[in-house]
Structure 1
Amino acid sequence: MEPQAVTPEEVDTAETATALAQAPEKPGNLTRLKLSALGNRPYRCPEVIPAWWKLRSTHSSVSGLFDTLHLVRRERSQQNKAETRGRLHSDAQDLLRAAIVFTSAGVDASVQALIEHAVPVLITQPGTPRDKYETFVEEQARAPKVEDGFLAALKSQDPRPELLSLYVLSKTKASFQGSGDLKTRAASSLGITNQQIHKGRFTSLDVFFTARNDVAHRLDMDNVTRADAAPPRKLRAQEEVRSMCDEALLLVRDLIKETAVNLTACR
């Protein structure tokens, strides 16, 4: 049964885009991109809830972009009365780029929230998180020029929460610049071991972070070769983008779940 025609006004809403993307279609006509399900969040671990909801929100937003991509391509196919094949149109490419940027923002927001709420509990017990915190304090105290914020924390009536706040800020104030940064700045401070999440899971995100930087900093434009011509833009394949975004979000999901395990051990 063919889907009913819609008016331009109806297409404007995200709900309509999702409904149309899920409507029946001819087999093999168009590709519908889907992210892997996140499953249930860890229970009885309130520290991970803010990070989990940020992750869920990101998953929903990126899924909505993929639904809209499907709708745009199907509308174009119906207008041309032909199957959509070959290179994606520029508007479809921009939706793929938006999915990369949304995913990256979600990774930053989720992991930063995880660090902010989990680290204060994790450092109460011996282990890697406390070691990382104590190393930070020692490095600040022995620096050739002690920072004003560190001195102010030492002078406060209760230095411990002030020092902890500085430590958490050092881990969360900037976006994650690559897989190595995500592992050393986030996973280590959360006490995530190689047995919990193998280092290969992190290095496999190098392609994603490269794509994020290409889109966010250069709009996917190649180097300009002629002054009188628009620079060519890198073309993104649908499945490649879906796979990159999916892999990044699933790694954040597992960071949250394994952090919950470590938090439970601190109770």
Structure 2
Amino acid sequence: MLSKLTLVELSDLPRKPHGCPPEVERSWARLVATYRSVSGLFTTLNELRAAQSDMRGAISESHRDQARSAIVFTAAGIDACLRTLLRDSLSTLLRTGGPAHGAFTRHFIDNRLKTAPSEATKRAVVALDPRGALIDLYVNDLTGSSIQCAGDLEDCRDALGLKKDPALTDAILASHEPFFIARQQVVHELDLVDPSGKGTRGRRHRDIAEVGAQCDGALRLVHAFIAPTARTVKKAQQSLLMGWTAT
């Protein structure tokens, strides 16, 4: 029975930000979808383990593969959530002179305008919607092909103007580095390298309880990005509305 097993489960997803603005809605929906997918993988894993003839026996590679899949699903969810959060919220945040606008300006001055502008930069400047095109370019610069390390998380945090948020300190973001290392090992090495140095005949060991904790922490971290961004966007909206009213 499942009660005899140490279950691999996600903690409850924190509540949706109160009065969640439209700029954050899509990111929240992606977080919910990711949570459900990963939770479903762990439910299946628990059921497979419960169906073993001897639940005290070694965990099979097929069970560990469920855990590996959870890592990949969680990482894909982080990419989707943060990319969407950046693209949708920056359109509002960059209309005020807050820290998000400062990070945006510094990025282009220090990286894309320090020398002759690249073709991509030129195309963005002359696009029908230059601000939207520049935001897309900015997000691509920040996230690359995927978010792969704590440093990428720091870039996303700073771009959203959340550098001073106590839930997103450098130390907290760095604590998630083992998850990203695991993701890279699963995706790029197919987990085939034996860390003992015995070649590639073995599979890299995955402790499923540790994987569960890493995925759970990573999803809660995404919420730690979404919640303050929702508050910051609402403040920016109020500031813009007051400006319009004053005119």
TM-score interval w.r.t. the shorter chain? Answer: 0.7 to 0.9
CA shift, 1:158, in A, is 5.9
Q: C-alpha separation between the residues in 2 aligned to 1:225 and 1:199?
A: 36
Report the alpha carbon displacement of residue 254 of structure 1 after superposing the two structures with TM: 1.1
Structure 1 residue 148 corresponds to structure 2 residue 123: no
Larger gyration radius, structure 1 or structure 2 = 1
**1:73–1:128 distance in 2 versus 1, CA, 3 Å:** same
- Alignment equivalent of 2:103, drawn from 132, 136, 160: 132
Residues 99 and 160 of structure 1: CA distance in aligned 2, closer, same or farther (over 3 Å): closer
Q: CA deviation at 1:153?
A: 3.2
When residues 91 and 124 of structure 1 are mapped into structure 2, their CA distance, relative to the original with a 3 A threshold, is same
Give the counterpart of 1:220 among 191, 194, 211.
191
Partners of 1:213 and 1:246 in 2: CA distance:
18
Alignment of 1:57 with 2:59, yes or no, is no
CA RMSD of aligned residues (A): 2.0
Q: Which has the higher contact order (CA 8 A, sep 6+)?
A: 2
Which 5+ residue runs of structure 2 have no aligned equivalent?
Answer: 238-247
Amino acid at match of 2:16: R
Task: Name the CA distance, whole Å, in 2 between partners of 1:30 and 1:158.
Answer: 56
Verify: 1:46 aligned to 2:22, yes or no: yes
In structure 2, the partner of 1:234 is 204
1:141 is displaced (CA, Å) by 2.6
Contact 1:115 1:171 in 2 (8 A): no
1:196–1:258 contact (8 Å) kept in structure 2? no
Give the conservation status (yes or no) of the 8 Å contact 1:72–1:92: yes
Aligned pair in 2 of structure 1 residues 220, 156: CA closer, same or farther (>3 Å)?
Answer: closer
CA distance in 2, matches of 1:44, 1:243: 27
Q: Find the aligned partners of 2:176 and 2:6 in 1 and give their Cα distance.
A: 24
How far off is 1:193 after superposition? 2.7
Match of 1:180 in 2: 151
1:54 Cα offset (Å): 0.7
Instruction: Normalising by structure 1, report the TM-score.
Output: 0.80
CA contact (8 A) 1:137 1:163 kept: no
Cα distance, 1:26 vs structure 2? 6.5
Give the distance between the partners of 2:129 and 2:85, measured in 1 at CA: 24
Q: Distance in 2 between matches of 1:111 and 1:51?
A: 7
Indicate yes or no: 2:191 matched with 1:202: no
Asked if structure 1 preserves the Cα contact closer than 8 Å seen for 2:103 and 2:161, the reply is: no
Please say if residues 116 and 172 of structure 1, whose CA atoms lie closer than 8 Å, have aligned partners that are also in contact: no
Give deviations 1:168-204, integer Å, cap 9, x for gaps. Answer: 33234421110111112x1010011333323222111
The unaligned stretches of length 5 or more in structure 1 are 1-24
Query: Quick one: distance in 1 between partners of 2:70 and 2:124?
Result: 41
Contact 1:125 1:266 in 2 (8 A): yes
Alpha-carbon offset, residue 162 of structure 1 = 3.3
> What does residue 250 of structure 1 align with?
220
What is aligned with 2:5?
30
In 1, distance between residues paired with 2:127 and 2:30?
A: 33
For residues 156-175 of structure 1, the aligned pairs below 5 Å read 156=127, 159-175=130-146
Helix, strand or coil at the partner of 2:51: helix
- Summarize the Cα distance change of 1:86–1:155 in structure 2 as closer, same or farther, 3 Å threshold: same
Describe the superposition over 1:112-134 as per-residue Cα deviations: whole angstroms up to 9, x where unpaired.
Answer: 11001011111111122101211
Q: Tell me, what secondary structure is at the counterpart of 1:152?
A: helix
Cα distance in 2, alignment partners of residues 57 and 156 from structure 1 = 33
Relative to the length of structure 2, the TM-score reads 0.86
